Amino acid sequence: MQNEKNTDQNFNCPMVKFVNLIAGKWAIPILYRLIITNEPIRFGELKRAISPITQKELTKQLRLFEQKGLISRKLYPEVPPKVEYQITELGKTLKPALNSIANWMKQHEQELR
């Protein structure tokens, strides 16, 4: 019974939910790039900015973030297809948290083993 309670508490923990949202090696770099760019960016440009991410991984993360409402995707009916991604207002609310993490890393990078 105790284990069930701990599992329920972990599932409802805001930090666990956040980590699940941004799980994946490339999740934070993708979101951070879209936040600091703050304008539509094409897939290829985003991929180059986050290199060496694979096309498959970038596509997977972008689809997840779009489903969650953190980014928007605009498809232009052209040949070849043109697709742009942009951070949404909801996604922009992550900026202070991600800036805080980036600043912490810069401040403590030398202390980490």
Domains of the chain: 26-111 (1.10.10.10)
- At 74-107, the pLDDT tens digits run 999 999 889 999 999 999 999 999 999 999 999 9
Q: Are 88 and 71 in contact (CB under 8 A)?
A: yes
pLDDT tens-digit map of 32-49: 999 999 999 999 999 999
| Angle CA 73–55–84, to nearest 5 | 20
pTM of the model: 0.81
Q: What are phi and psi of 96, to 5 degrees?
A: -60, -40
Quick check: helix, strand or coil at residue 73?
A: strand
